Each structure stands twice: as structure tokens, then as C-alpha cells.
């Protein structure tokens, strides 16, 4: 009983507990996407080290610092989006919209960025390997839109105007 009276005497604790009771977290990132993002970041670090070693560069703490900065920016972005989506969820009283898709799309995009970086590291580390020649290099070119004879990139270039010019 003594702790309850101490708790109610502190106005700051009462205000904080009321605020946290009012703000509920409805939307969180998918645990599976979070797992794959952690795996992809670790794999990107490992393939970055392999790339440096294959090119004869010494590994320094610069790359590790970049990875730590990247992890910090990812965590900050995810936390910001989770807070914003949950604030929007507080306004949506009817619960018509499931806003989890926004958080999951962000996490999926981050996983895609990491997978792209892993492919670039492998392609630069081992450019003559069959994996790089026949799979990774064409896939990277496709994602960059630089494939020759690509129907998507040549769509606007090869169209001709088949209508005859009108003679006035």
C-alpha cells in the first residue's frame, strides 16, 4: 500500500502512466520481415568483406561503421513509421484500414535494398564465376534497366507513327 500512495503523490508518474495507457500499439512490423532484414544486413556485411578481400584491400573499421550507421538509420526509419502509423491508427476510430501494410512495405523495401547490395558485392568480388556471369550480372542489369533488347526499356524508342501526315 505504501508504494501506491507514493505513486499517486507523484504527478509526473500519474501523467506518464495515463499517457501510456491511452497510446496503444496496434501496428508492428512483421517478425518474419524483421528476421529476414537482420539476415540480409549480416549477409551484406559478409559479402562486403569478401569483396574487399578478393580485391586485395585491407579491411578497416570504415565498412563496419557504415554498417552500424545503416542499421541505425533502418531502426530509426522503422520506429518513425511505426509511431506515425500508430498515431494515424488512433485517429481511425472505425478500424476500416489495416495500416500494417505500410510498415511491411517499408521493411520489404529495405530487404530488397540489402539483397541488391549482396548481389553487387558478389558480382564485384567474383566477376568471372558462372553465378555472376549467368545470373547476377543479367539480373543487376535488368534491375538497372540496362539490358540490351529489353522490351521494357525499348518500348518508347521503337514506336513509329504509322498515320500518314494530313495534306491541307
Question: What's the per-residue H, E or C state across 55-68?
Answer: CCCCCCHHHHHHHH
User: Which residue, chain included where needed, has cell 545503416?
Assistant: 70
* Range of weakest confidence among 33-37, 76-80, 140-144, 151-155: 151-155
Q: Report the distance separating Cα 71 and Cα 79, nearest Å.
A: 12
* Contact criterion met (CB below 8 Å) for 123 and 132: yes
Instruction: State pLDDT tens for residues 71-91.
Output: 999 999 999 999 888 888 777
Nine cell digits for residue 23:
497510446
The model carries a pTM of: 0.69
Q: Report the distance separating Cα 25 and Cα 29, nearest Å.
A: 11
Instruction: State pLDDT tens for residues 126-150.
Output: 989 988 888 888 888 887 776 566 5
Evaluate if residue 156 carries a pLDDT over 80: no
Determine the pLDDT at residue 13.
59
CB-based contacts of 118, cutoff 8 Å, min separation 6: 40, 43, 44, 47
Amino acid at each position: 500500500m505504501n508504494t501506491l500512495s507514493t505513486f499517486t503523490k507523484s504527478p509526473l508518474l500519474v501523467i506518464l502512466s495515463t499517457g501510456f495507457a491511452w497510446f496503444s500499439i496496434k501496428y508492428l512490423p512483421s517478425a518474419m520481415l524483421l528476421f529476414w532484414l537482420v539476415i540480409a544486413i549480416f549477409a551484406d556485411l559478409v559479402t562486403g568483406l569478401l569483396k574487399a578481400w578478393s580485391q586485395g584491400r585491407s579491411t578497416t573499421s570504415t565498412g563496419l561503421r557504415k554498417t552500424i550507421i545503416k542499421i541505425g538509420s533502418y531502426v530509426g526509419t522503422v520506429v518513425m513509421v511505426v509511431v506515425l502509423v500508430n498515431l494515424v491508427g488512433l485517429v481511425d476510430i472505425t478500424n476500416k484500414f489495416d495500416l500494417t501494410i505500410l510498415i511491411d512495405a517499408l521493411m520489404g523495401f529495405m530487404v530488397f535494398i540489402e539483397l541488391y547490395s549482396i548481389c553487387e558485392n558478389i558480382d564485384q568480388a567474383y566477376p568471372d564465376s558462372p553465378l555472376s556471369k549467368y545470373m547476377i550480372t543479367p539480373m543487376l542489369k535488368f534491375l538497372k534497366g540496362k539490358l540490351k533488347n529489353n522490351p521494357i526499356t525499348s518500348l518508347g524508342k521503337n514506336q513509329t507513327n504509322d498515320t500518314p501526315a494530313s495534306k491541307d
